[in-house]
Amino acid sequence: MNAIDQTRRMLSLVTYLKERPGARVEDVARAFGISEDELVSDLDVLPMCGTSFRGGDLLDIDTDGERIWWHNPAALAAEAAEPLRLAADEATALLVAARAVSTLPGLRESDRQALLRATAKVETAAGEAAGASSRLSVTFESEGGVFADVDRAIAERRRLWIRYYSPARDEVTEREIDPIRLVSVGHTYVEAWCRRSEARRTFRLDRVAEIKILDEPSAPPEIELRDLSEALVQPAAEDPEVVVEVGPGGRWVAEYYPHDSADELPDGGLRITLRTPEPASLRRLALRLGRDGRIVSPPELADSARQAAREALAAYDGLEAVRTARVVEAGVPGPHAVPDGSGDGRE
């Protein structure tokens, strides 16, 4: 039984119970082909549903274990329906959000005008409550403009030009992409056909430095939709294999990185085998892990990670030496000096 099937059953259950006040639990369970425990579980959820979350609008349904009682069935009756009313805080939030969205760059003009007309109607209906919303404003981060342009390009089936920062290579590249869809998993991404690499790629919107909608039509190859339940970025079988060993403090890697295997180590750590199209990008992971992990193979990547760690330590030591020298030149005791405790009353 999946969530959609359960939702359908519960909607049917509402109609069934409305027509049968005081229905017996065993009879209802039998009618729906479920156990009494499953029915009671549904009944625990129904009181959290209704036309709104205000008192009296939620379904007032309970059971004594033998019969089911619905105390306010008229709340959903057509004759009892009332016009939608917004509280002052709800009206304020709606108006502020609507005005903010209307300023998004890349929003189609027809959509903007429709939104402004709807906003004006809400302002009129809200009356005095609309006054507070005029004193509030929302500013979207740069990603908002990128999102709007990508969304528009998808809707109009047009190609995009972007300047994109790749952390794996630590460089900004220019690309033309045919956007396919937007995906939100923690961050927001656009899945697209990249004309530069001639392959499907996923780009994180907050790494897009510049974006333009081109006149060329977007024509990505026919692509089979993927199951994103495991991970947004899924490695291919031909991607290079990397082996990472982590201690107990690094076990989180197996939770955040798609991997082929994760074998237990005697010290409570893991030996993780994974695949990635850009092994060099895992140097950052090695630096982040510190003493909690290391790259085992391929050997050249392990050597590269160790070299990056040595360079980072050398840079840190150099900065610390410069800071200490400046402190000494200023006549202030350095970080290893021991103050004599005189003159200020402190020990």
Closest CA to 294 of 317, 265, 315, 318: 265
Q: Report in angstroms the alpha-carbon separations of 60 from 50, 65, 79, 162, 271.
A: 9, 16, 18, 54, 53
Helix or strand (DSSP H, E) at 213? strand 208-217
For residue 182, give both structure tokens: 């937007």
If one compares 101 and 305, the residue with the highest pLDDT of the two is 305
Q: Does 242 lie in the same domain as 319?
A: yes
Structural domains counted in the chain: 3
Residues in a beta bridge with 184: 188
Q: Does 195 lie in the same domain as 149?
A: yes
Instruction: Please give the pLDDT value at position 47.
Output: 78
First and final CA of the chain: distance in angstroms?
A: 70
Q: Report in angstroms the alpha-carbon separations of 107 from 161, 258, 276.
A: 18, 36, 36
Q: Does 176 lie in the same domain as 116?
A: no
3-state class (DSSP) for residue 336: coil
SS percent in the chain: helix, strand, coil, step 5:
45, 25, 35
Residue 60, Cα to own-chain centre: how many angstroms? 34
Condensed to tens digits (0 to 9), the pLDDT of residues 201-222 reads 888 888 888 999 999 999 888 7
Task: Judge whether 223 lies within some domain.
Answer: no
Q: Which of 107, 128, 149 is the last residue of a domain?
A: 128
Q: Which of 83, 108, 128 is the last residue of a domain?
A: 128
Residue span of the structural domain in which 117 resides = 3-128
pLDDT at position 250 over 90: no
pLDDT at position 304 over 70: yes
Task: Judge whether 224 lies within some domain.
Answer: no
Q: Does 322 lie in the same domain as 271?
A: yes
Contact 209, 203 (CB under 8 A): no
Give the mean model confidence (pLDDT) for residues 14-32. 87
d(CA 189, CA 268): 35
Q: Helix/strand/coil (H, E, C) string of 117-184?
A: HHHHHHHHHHCCHHHHHCCCCCCCCHHHHHHHHHHHHHHHCEEEEEEEEECCCCEEEEEEEEEEEEEE
Task: Judge whether 100 lies within some domain.
Answer: yes
Contact 250, 193 (CB under 8 A): no
Task: Judge whether 156 lies within some domain.
Answer: yes
User: What type of residue sits at position 166?
Assistant: S
CATH of the domain at 294: 3.30.70
Other beta carbons within 10 angstroms of residue 171's beta carbon come to 9
Q: Does 201 lie in the same domain as 284?
A: no
- pLDDT band at residue 197 using 50, 70 and 90 as cut-offs: confident
Condensed to tens digits (0 to 9), the pLDDT of residues 87-132 reads 777 777 888 788 777 766 556 677 778 888 888 888 887 777 667 6
Task: Judge whether 71 lies within some domain.
Answer: yes
Q: Does 112 lie in the same domain as 7?
A: yes
Q: Is the dihedral of CA 284, 288, 291, 292 positive or negative?
A: negative
Residues in a beta bridge with 161: 176, 212
Task: Judge whether 48 lies within some domain.
Answer: yes
Q: Which of 95, 128, 161 is the last residue of a domain?
A: 128
Condensed to tens digits (0 to 9), the pLDDT of residues 223-249 reads 665 555 555 555 555 668 889 998 888
Length of the chain: 347
CATH of the domain at 207: 2.30.30.100
d(CA 161, CA 182): 16
Q: Does 105 lie in the same domain as 21?
A: yes
Give the mean model confidence (pLDDT) for residues 297-303. 86
pLDDT at position 12 over 80: yes
Residue 239 DSSP label: S
Instruction: Please give the pLDDT value at position 337.
Output: 38
Q: Does 117 lie in the same domain as 11?
A: yes
Q: Does 123 lie in the same domain as 143?
A: no
Q: Does 120 lie in the same domain as 98?
A: yes
Q: Does 119 lie in the same domain as 7?
A: yes
d(CA 218, CA 180): 9
pLDDT at position 325 over 80: no
Residue 333 DSSP label: -
For residue 153, give both structure tokens: 């390009």
- For 194-211, b/e burial (b = at least 16 CB within 10 A) is beeeeebbebbbebbeeb
Instruction: Please give the pLDDT value at position 109.
Output: 75
Write down the mean pLDDT value for the chain: 75
Task: Judge whether 262 lies within some domain.
Answer: yes
Instruction: Please give the pLDDT value at position 254.
Output: 81
Task: Judge whether 18 lies within some domain.
Answer: yes
- pLDDT band at residue 338 using 50, 70 and 90 as cut-offs: very low
Q: Does 314 lie in the same domain as 197?
A: no
